[in-house]
C-alpha cells in the first residue's frame, strides 16, 4: 500500500458577517441545519434542559415529546454509551473542570436509528464556584464515523467514494508529501487542479504558520508526529492557509496507513470549523457579557472582584467600588421608547469606559445600573476624581435618532477594606450610597457610611408599608375647595390623597407620591383616587349637595398608560357620575413630553365630556401653539409664583401675564397656594378667576367637605 484517502462531510461556506446570535434566531437555525450542529443549555439548579431545533432533529424528537431534563437526555443515549456520557458530565462537575467533550451514540426515538454525535460542553459558575448553567453543542458526526469505518474496511471502496464525496481529504507519504486529494480539498484550499499539490509538502502548503503569523515548524505539527510515532491524531482547533493567503480554523483527524507493521503514510480529513468557533464564542459572550452593551455581566464582575480582593489583601492595597444608576432613565424609555433607551445605554457604557484605566473593570449589572471596580486606589481622592469624571461625561448631550437627550447619574462608592472585605457587601454598600446620592438631589456621588444603612432600612420599611396601605384602607381622599375670587363662592374642589399612617399619622402626598412613582404603586393609588372621587361626588349629589366639578391629578405614568381612556370610561360607568363633574389635571411637563400623544388622549377623553386643567403652568416651556390646540379649560398657576406676590415684582408680572394670556385663549385661571388677603387682592386686581389655598380652606376629609358644600 502506498497511500490512502478518506471521506469527510463538506461544511458549506456561510456568511461570516451574520447578525448577532440573539437577533438572528432563524438564520442561526439554518446554519445549524447545514452544519448538523445544534446547541443546548442546561439550567443545573432547576434541571431544565433547552435544545435548539437542530438538536431535536438530530435526536429524532418533537419538542412536545421531550421532558427537557438531563435524565431524559440520558435516556436518548445508546445504552452502551450512557455510563460514559454521564461520567464525562458528572466528572467535569466533580473535578472542577470547566468543559469536556465526548463522542457517543444515540438512538432516535421513532426510527430506532443509531447515530453518532460529537458533544462539547462548557460550564458557567457563580461567584462561589458552583456550576449553575451548562452550555454545549451537539454535532451529528454519523457520516464521518461511517466514512472512517469504511476506510478501514476497504481501500477500493474509498477509491470509489473519494471523488463522490464533498469532504476535504488528502493523503501524505512518510515525508509529508501529498500523494492523493479529492476535489473538495482542492476547492476548500483554493487550488485549481491536483497537480498544484500532489508531490508537494502539504505542511508547507497549508499548515506552515500559526494564527498569529509566526512560523509553524513541520516537526511540531501533530500530523507529522503521528507519522513518526504511529497512531491516530485529532486536533480540533488549528489554522490552515489557503492558496490566496486567507485562513480558516480547521479540525482534523489523521490516521496512519500501515503496511506490514510499518507506517507508510497517513490520511487526513479536514473540517472547516470557523462557524462552530463563532457560535462557541457567541455562546461564551452571552454567558459572561451583557448582550446590549458588550460589557461584562454580574457573574464576570463578581469573579474579578473576588480576585481583586485577594490580591489587594496580599499586597495591602485599597479597592474602590462604584455603583451607578442613571437618573430618571425610565422617563427616556417612556417618552421615546426602548429602542432609543437601548441606544442611550450603549453610549453611556462607552462614555464610562473612556473615563477608566485599563486596570479597572466596568460591568452592566442590570437595567440602567453599572458597577465599576477601581483597583489599587492610592487615596480616596482617586475614587472621587473618577466618579466626578464619569458624572461630567454622562452629562454631555446625546444625539440619538435626531433626538437631543440629556442624562445624569447618581454614584455610590464603597471602599475595601474600610466598608467591607466581602464582595457582596461592598456592592450592597455602594448601592446604599448610590440611593443616598439620589436623595441628595441626584447627579452626584456619595461615599458609603454606616448611617446610610439605617436610613436605607427605614426607607425599605416605608416602601413596604406603602404597598400594604391600599389593602389596609389607610389611603384617604381629602378635598380642597376652589373658590371664585370675585364672589368667594365655591365652584369646585381638588382631590388630594392622604396616607393615614398607623405610626406617623396623616401624611401628605408630597411625603409618599415620589416613592409611589418610583416603585410603580402610583398606578394602583391613582386608580383608587379616581374611583373614590367619582363615587363620593356621585354620593354627594344624591344626598342633595349642589353638583360641583372635582379635579383629579394624573401622574405621568398614569397618563402614558395605554389603558387610561378605557379605565376612566369604566369608572364613570360604574359610578354613574356625569363626566362634566370630573376634571382631570396634568402638569405642563407631562403635556409637552409628547404633544401629539397628549392631543390624541385629551381629545378622546374630552369627547366623553370630561374637563381638563393644566397644572404648574409657568414652570415649563409650553408652546402656546400646542396649548391652543389642547382641549384645556383651565390653567393653574403654581404656588411658587403666588408666594412672593406681595414683595416680588417679577412674580407679579408673571402672574398678571399668565392671566391675560389665558383669558386671550378663553381659558380660566386658578391660583393655588393662596394664603393671605394680600395675595387674594392682587389676584382679584388682575382678574384671576379662581383660587384655592388655606385662606379659604385647608384640604378636608369627605365628611367635613360635605358640610362645607351644603352650607355654601
Pair 200, 244 in one domain:
yes
Cα 172 from Cα 149, distance rounded (Å): 19
**657 found inside a domain:** no
pLDDT at 312 over 70: yes
- 628: confidence class by pLDDT, cuts 50, 70, 90: confident
pLDDT at 299 over 70: yes
**2 found inside a domain:** no
Pair 162, 102 in one domain:
no
Whether 141 and 118 have beta carbons less than 8 Å apart is answered as yes
Instruction: Encode pLDDT of 204-231 as tens digits.
Output: 999 888 888 899 998 888 888 888 777 7
**147 found inside a domain:** no
- 147: confidence class by pLDDT, cuts 50, 70, 90: confident
Mean pLDDT of 163-178: 84
**5 found inside a domain:** no
Domain boundary among 251, 275, 299: 275
pLDDT at 376 over 90: no
The domain spanning residue 191 has which CATH number? 3.30.450.20
- 458: confidence class by pLDDT, cuts 50, 70, 90: low
pLDDT for residue 7? 43
- 11: confidence class by pLDDT, cuts 50, 70, 90: very low
The CA dihedral of 536, 542, 545, 547, to the nearest 10 degrees, is 80
Give the lowest-confidence range in 292-306, 367-381, 622-636. 622-636
Instruction: Encode pLDDT of 470-484 as tens digits.
Output: 889 999 999 999 999
Pair 173, 204 in one domain:
yes
Whether 620 and 592 have beta carbons less than 8 Å apart is answered as yes
Pair 314, 389 in one domain:
yes
**308 found inside a domain:** yes
Q: List, in order, residues 6 or more apart from 214 with CB less than 8 Å away.
A: none
Mean pLDDT of 113-131: 91
pLDDT for residue 457? 63
**Max mean pLDDT range (229-243, 454-468, 529-543):** 529-543
> Which residues partner with 245 through β-bridges?
none
Domain boundary among 231, 248, 275: 275
pLDDT at 330 over 80: yes
pLDDT for residue 433? 93
pLDDT for residue 279? 85
Answer with the residue of higher pLDDT: 259 or 613.
613
pLDDT for residue 154? 64
Cα 138 from Cα 61, distance rounded (Å): 14
Pair 163, 251 in one domain:
yes
Mean pLDDT of 416-429: 93
**402 found inside a domain:** yes
User: Which helix (H) or strand (E) covers residue 348, if one does?
Assistant: helix 338-354
Instruction: Encode pLDDT of 278-291 as tens digits.
Output: 887 777 777 788 88
Domain boundary among 98, 113, 140: 140
Nearest to 390 by CA among 341, 434, 422, 424: 434
pLDDT for residue 421? 92
Pair 416, 509 in one domain:
no
Pair 544, 606 in one domain:
yes
Pair 336, 222 in one domain:
no
Cα 15 from Cα 45, distance rounded (Å): 36
**283 found inside a domain:** no
Domain residues for the domain of 99 are 37-140
Answer with the residue of higher pLDDT: 367 or 25.
367
Pair 83, 176 in one domain:
no
Distances (CA, A) of 463 to 456, 517, 520, 524, 644: 10, 11, 11, 14, 35
The phi and psi torsions of 268 (rounded to 5 degrees) equal: -125, 130
- 623: confidence class by pLDDT, cuts 50, 70, 90: low
Residue at grid coordinates 389676584: 683
Instruction: Encode pLDDT of 645-657 as tens digits.
Output: 888 898 999 999 9
Task: State the Cα angle at 484 between 478 and 487, rounded to 5°.
Answer: 130
3-state secondary structure (DSSP) of residue 204: helix
With a pLDDT cut of 70, the percent of the chain lying above it is 91
Pair 490, 625 in one domain:
yes
Instruction: Encode pLDDT of 487-517 as tens digits.
Output: 999 999 999 999 999 888 999 988 888 888 8
Q: What is the DSSP string of 467-507?
A: HHHHHHT-EEEEEEEEEETTT--EEEEEEEEEEEETTTEEE
- Is pTM, for the whole model, over 0.85? no
Give the lowest-confidence range in 13-22, 221-230, 455-464. 13-22
Mean pLDDT of 368-374: 96
Pair 310, 400 in one domain:
yes
Whether 170 and 178 have beta carbons less than 8 Å apart is answered as yes
pLDDT at 5 over 60: no
Q: What is the mean pLDDT of the chain?
A: 87
- 456: confidence class by pLDDT, cuts 50, 70, 90: low
3-state secondary structure (DSSP) of residue 185: helix
With a pLDDT cut of 90, the percent of the chain lying above it is 49
**329 found inside a domain:** yes
Give the lowest-confidence range in 12-21, 346-355, 424-433, 599-608. 12-21
pLDDT at 461 over 80: no
Q: What is the domain count for the chain?
A: 4
pLDDT for residue 226? 82
Answer with the residue of higher pLDDT: 624 or 480.
480
pLDDT for residue 13? 41
Amino acid at each position: 500500500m502506498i497511500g490512502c484517502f478518506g471521506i469527510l462531510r463538506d461544511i458549506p461556506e456561510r456568511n461570516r458577517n451574520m447578525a448577532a446570535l440573539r437577533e438572528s434566531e432563524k438564520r442561526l437555525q439554518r446554519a445549524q441545519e447545514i452544519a448538523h450542529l445544534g446547541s443546548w443549555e442546561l439550567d443545573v439548579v432547576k434541571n431544565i434542559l433547552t435544545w435548539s431545533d437542530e438538536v431535536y432533529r438530530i435526536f429524532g424528537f418533537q419538542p412536545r415529546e421531550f421532558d427537557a431534563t438531563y435524565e431524559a437526555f440520558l435516556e436518548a443515549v445508546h445504552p452502551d454509551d450512557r455510563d460514559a456520557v454521564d461520567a464525562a458530565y458528572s466528572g467535569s462537575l466533580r473535578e472542577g473542570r470547566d468543559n469536556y467533550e465526548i463522542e457517543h451514540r444515540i438512538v432516535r426515538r421513532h426510527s430506532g436509528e443509531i447515530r453518532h454525535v460529537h458533544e462539547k460542553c462548557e460550564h458557567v459558575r457563580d461567584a462561589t464556584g458552583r456550576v449553575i448553567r451548562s452550555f454545549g453543542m451537539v454535532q451529528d458526526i454519523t457520516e464521518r464515523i461511517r466514512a472512517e469505518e469504511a476506510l478501514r474496511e476497504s481501500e477500493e471502496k474509498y477509491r470509489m467514494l473519494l471523488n463522490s464525496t464533498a469532504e476535504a481529504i488528502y493523503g501524505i507519504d512518510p515525508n509529508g508529501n501529498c500523494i492523493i486529494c479529492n476535489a473538495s480539498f482542492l476547492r476548500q484550499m483554493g487550488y485549481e487542479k491536483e497537480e498544484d499539490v500532489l508531490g508537494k509538502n502539504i505542511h508547507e502548503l497549508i499548515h506552515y504558520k500559526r494564527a498569529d503569523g509566526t512560523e509553524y515548524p513541520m516537526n511540531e505539527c501533530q500530523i507529522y508526529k503521528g507519522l513518526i510515532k504511529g497512531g491516530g491524531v485529532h486536533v480540533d482547533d488549528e489554522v490552515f492557509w489557503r492558496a490566496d493567503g486567507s485562513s480558516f480554523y480547521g479540525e482534523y483527524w489523521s490516521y496512519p496507513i500501515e503496511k506490514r507493521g510499518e507506517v507508510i503514510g497517513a490520511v487526513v480529513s479536514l473540517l472547516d470549523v470557523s462557524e462552530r468557533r463563532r457560535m462557541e464564542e457567541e455562546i461564551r459572550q452571552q454567558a459572561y457579557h451583557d448582550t446590549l452593551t458588550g460589557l461584562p455581566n454580574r457573574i464576570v464582575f463578581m469573579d474579578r472582584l473576588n480576585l481583586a480582593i485577594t490580591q489587594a489583601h496580599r499586597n495591602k492595597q485599597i479597592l474602590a467600588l462604584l455603583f451607578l444608576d442613571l437618573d430618571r432613565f425610565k422617563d427616556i424609555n417612556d417618552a421615546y421608547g426602548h429602542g432609543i433607551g437601548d441606544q442611550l445605554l450603549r453610549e453611556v457604557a462607552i462614555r464610562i469606559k473612556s473615563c477608566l484605566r485599563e486596570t479597572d473593570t466596568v460591568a452592566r449589572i442590570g437595567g440602567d445600573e453599572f458597577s465599576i471596580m477601581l483597583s489599587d486606589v492610592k487615596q480616596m481622592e482617586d475614587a472621587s476624581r473618577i466618579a466626578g469624571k464619569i458624572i461630567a461625561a454622562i452629562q454631555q448631550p446625546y444625539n440619538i435618532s435626531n433626538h437631543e437627550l440629556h442624562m445624569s447619574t447618581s454614584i455610590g462608592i464603597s471602599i475595601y477594606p474600610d466598608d467591607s472585605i466581602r464582595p457582596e457587601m461592598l456592592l450592597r454598600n455602594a448601592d446604599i450610597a448610590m440611593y443616598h446620592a439620589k436623595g441628595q438631589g441626584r447627579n452626584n456621588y456619595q461615599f458609603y457610611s454606616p448611617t446610610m444603612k439605617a436610613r436605607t432600612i427605614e426607607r425599605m420599611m416605608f416602601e413596604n408599608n406603602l404597598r400594604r396601605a391600599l389593602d389596609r384602607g389607610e389611603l384617604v381622599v381629602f378635598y380642597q375647595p376652589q373658590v371664585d375670587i370675585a364672589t368667594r363662592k365655591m365652584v369646585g374642589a381638588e382631590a388630594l390623597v392622604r396616607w393615614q399612617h398607623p405610626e406617623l399619622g396623616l401624611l401628605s402626598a408630597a411625603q409618599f407620591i415620589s416613592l409611589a412613582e418610583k416603585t410603580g404603586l402610583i398606578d394602583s393609588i391613582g386608580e383608587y383616587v379616581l374611583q373614590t372621587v367619582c363615587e363620593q361626588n356621585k354620593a354627594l349629589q344624591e344626598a342633595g349637595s349642589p353638583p360641583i366639578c372635582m379635579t383629579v391629578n394624573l401622574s405621568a405614568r398614569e397618563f402614558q398608560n395605554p389603558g387610561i381612556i378605557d379605565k376612566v370610561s369604566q369608572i364613570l360607568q360604574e359610578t354613574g357620575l356625569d363626566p362634566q363633574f370630573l376634571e382631570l389635571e396634568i402638569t405642563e411637563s407631562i403635556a409637552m413630553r409628547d404633544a401629539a400623544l397628549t392631543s390624541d388622549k385629551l381629545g378622546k377623553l374630552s369627547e366623553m365630556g370630561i374637563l381638563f386643567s393644566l397644572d404648574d403652568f409657568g414652570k415649563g416651556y409650553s408652546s402656546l401653539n400646542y396649548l391652543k390646540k389642547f382641549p384645556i379649560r383651565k390653567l393653574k398657576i403654581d404656588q411658587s409664583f403666588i408666594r412672593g406676590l406681595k414683595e416680588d415684582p417679577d412674580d407679579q408680572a408673571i402672574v398678571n401675564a399668565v392671566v391675560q394670556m389665558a383669558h386671550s385663549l378663553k381659558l380660566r385661571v386658578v391660583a393655588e397656594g393662596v394664603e393671605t388677603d394680600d395675595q387674594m387682592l392682587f389676584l382679584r386686581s388682575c382678574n384671576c378667576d379662581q383660587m384655592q389655598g388655606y385662606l379659604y380652606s385647608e384640604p378636608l376629609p369627605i365628611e367635613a367637605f360635605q358640610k362645607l358644600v351644603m352650607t355654601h
